[in-house]
C-alpha cells in the first residue's frame, strides 16, 4: 500500500495543471453522458478537488467523502479519477432504501469476482473478502452513502481497519446527506478529505460547455447563460441532456448550428415547457 500523498498530476497528468476547464484526453468512454458522441471529459474545479482528495486517500488507505447536489458530476468525477489510480470496486446499493452489511458483503463478493455465491455464513463471507482485499490496493466506491445503516458504516470501518495498510473507500453523498456522514465518529479519524463539487457558476458556463462539446461553440455566451438559467443551473448532467437533444434537433432539421429558437424548443422538450 502507498503511504505518502500523491500530487494531482498522478491522476490528471499534465492536464491537471492546465487552465480551468481543460479537456482530459481520456480513452475510456464517459460514464453517465447518455452515450453522446463528442462529449469530453472536462476538468472542472470539482474534478480537480476530487482528484487531489482521492489521490491522498488512495496513498494513505483512507476514506474520502465526496459531496454535492444532484447532477453536478460527483459520480463521474470519482469514477474518472479512481480508474486512473487503481482497481475500482463499485457497490451498487441504490436499489435498497437502507443497505445493510449483508448487502455490502454481496456487492463486494461480486465486485471482487470471488467464486460462486456469497457464503451464507457472514464469517466465511468476510474471510473471503478480507483475503481478496489484502492481496492488492483497491478503491471501494459507495453511492448514496448517506443511506447506509449504522451497521454498514461499522462494517466498512471493520474492513478498513482489518486490511493491511488500510482501505481506500469513497463515500458519495448528496448535500443533504453530509450531516449523516459527519455524524459517523469513525469517519472523523479515517477520512483524508471532504471534497465538495459545486455547480458551475453562470459566468463559468460559456467556457465550460464550449469545452464540453463542440455543438456549443457556435452559441453566443449570453444565450448559453440564459439556457443555463432556464434549465441547467450549472449542473453538467443537465448540459449532457441538452447536448443529446440539441444534436437530435440538428439532425432532424439539417441545420449546421443551433439558433435560439431551436434551443428554446429543446428546453421545452427536456423540461416540459417550463418557463423561468
Residue 2: inside a domain:
no
**Whether 145 and 243 share a structural domain:** no
**Whether 183 and 221 share a structural domain:** no
Task: Single out the residue of 19, 8, 87, 3 nearest to residue 49, CA to CA.
Answer: 8
Q: Is the pLDDT of residue 189 over 60?
A: yes
Task: Single out the residue of 181, 196, 169, 191 nearest to residue 47, CA to CA.
Answer: 196
Mean residue pLDDT of the chain comes to 88
Alpha helices by DSSP H, the chain: 9-12, 45-60, 74-82, 101-111, 122-135, 150-162, 178-182, 185-188, 205-212, 221-227, 236-253, 260-271
CA-to-CA distance for 260 and 258, rounded, in angstroms?
7
CA-to-CA distance for 30 and 35, rounded, in angstroms?
7
**Whether 42 and 135 share a structural domain:** yes
Taking each helix axis from N to C terminus, what angle separates 101-111 and 150-162, rounded to the nearest 10 degrees?
Answer: 50
Q: Which domain-ending residue is among 173, 197, 221?
A: 197
Q: Which domain-ending residue is among 170, 197, 224?
A: 197
pLDDT in tens, 108-141: 999 999 999 999 999 999 999 999 999 999 999 9
**Whether 165 and 210 share a structural domain:** no
**Whether 144 and 241 share a structural domain:** no
Residue 142: inside a domain:
yes
Percentage of residues of the chain with pLDDT beyond 70: 87
**Whether 169 and 216 share a structural domain:** no
What Cα–Cα distance (Å) separates residue 40 from each residue in 13, 14, 17, 235?
16, 17, 18, 15
Q: Which domain-ending residue is among 181, 197, 213?
A: 197
CA-to-CA distance for 192 and 261, rounded, in angstroms?
48
pLDDT in tens, 202-223: 999 999 999 999 999 999 999 9
Residue 3: inside a domain:
no
pLDDT in tens, 142-174: 999 999 999 999 999 999 999 999 999 999 999
Q: How many domains does the chain have?
A: 2
CATH code for the domain of 52: 3.40.50.300
b/e per residue, 47-64, with b = 16+ CB within 10 A?
A: bbbbbbbbbbbbbbbbbb
CA angle 241–170–179, rounded 5-degree value: 85
**Whether 77 and 18 share a structural domain:** yes
Residue 213: inside a domain:
yes
Expressed as residue numbers, the domain containing 214 is 205-271
Q: What is the 3-state secondary structure (H, E, C) of 8-40?
A: CHHHHHHHHHCCCCEEECCCCCCCCCCCCCCCC
**Whether 175 and 215 share a structural domain:** no
**Whether 131 and 191 share a structural domain:** yes
Biggest CA–CA distance in the chain, Å, is 63
Residue 28: inside a domain:
yes
**Whether 28 and 161 share a structural domain:** yes
Residue 258: inside a domain:
yes
**Whether 180 and 210 share a structural domain:** no
CA-to-CA distance for 48 and 42, rounded, in angstroms?
10
**Whether 95 and 211 share a structural domain:** no
Residue 215: inside a domain:
yes
Give me the pLDDT at residue 153, please.
96
- DSSP lists the bridge partners of residue 63 as 169, 191
pLDDT in tens, 24-44: 876 555 555 566 778 888 889
Residue 183: inside a domain:
yes
Amino acid at each position: 500500500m502507498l503511504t505518502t500523498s500523491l500530487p494531482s498530476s498522478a491522476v490528471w497528468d499534465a492536464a491537471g495543471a492546465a487552465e480551468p476547464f481543460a479537456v482530459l484526453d481520456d480513452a475510456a468512454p464517459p460514464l453517465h453522458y447518455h452515450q453522446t458522441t463528442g462529449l469530453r471529459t472536462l476538468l472542472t474545479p470539482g474534478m480537480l478537488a476530487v482528484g487531489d482528495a482521492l489521490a491522498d486517500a488512495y496513498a494513505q488507505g483512507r476514506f474520502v467523502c465526496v459531496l454535492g447536489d444532484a447532477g453536478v458530476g460527483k459520480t463521474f468525477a470519482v469514477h474518472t479519477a479512481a480508474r486512473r489510480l487503481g482497481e475500482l470496486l463499485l457497490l451498487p446499493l441504490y436499489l435498497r432504501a437502507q443497505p445493510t452489511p449483508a448487502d455490502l458483503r454481496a456487492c463486494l463478493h461480486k465486485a471482487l469476482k470471488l467464486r460462486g455465491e456469497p457464503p451464507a455464513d457472514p464469517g466465511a463471507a468476510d474471510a473471503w473478502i478480507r483475503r481478496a482485499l489484502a492481496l492488492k490496493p483497491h478503491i471501494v466506491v459507495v453511492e448514496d452513502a448517506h443511506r447506509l445503516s449504522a451497521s454498514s458504516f461499522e462494517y466498512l470501518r471493520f474492513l478498513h481497519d482489518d486490511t493491511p495498510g488500510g482501505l481506500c473507500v469513497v463515500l458519495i453523498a448528496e448535500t443533504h446527506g453530509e450531516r449523516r456522514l459527519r455524524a459517523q465518529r469513525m469517519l472523523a479519524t479515517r477520512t483524508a478529505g471532504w471534497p465538495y463539487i459545486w455547480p458551475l457558476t453562470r459566468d463559468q458556463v460559456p467556457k465550460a460547455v464550449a469545452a464540453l462539446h463542440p455543438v456549443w461553440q457556435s452559441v453566443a455566451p449570453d444565450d448559453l447563460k440564459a439556457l443555463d438559467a432556464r434549465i441547467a443551473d450549472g449542473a453538467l448532467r443537465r448540459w449532457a441532456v441538452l447536448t443529446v437533444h440539441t444534436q437530435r434537433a440538428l439532425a432532424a432539421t439539417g441545420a449546421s448550428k443551433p439558433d435560439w429558437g431551436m434551443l428554446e424548443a429543446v428546453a421545452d422538450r427536456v423540461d416540459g415547457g417550463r418557463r423561468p
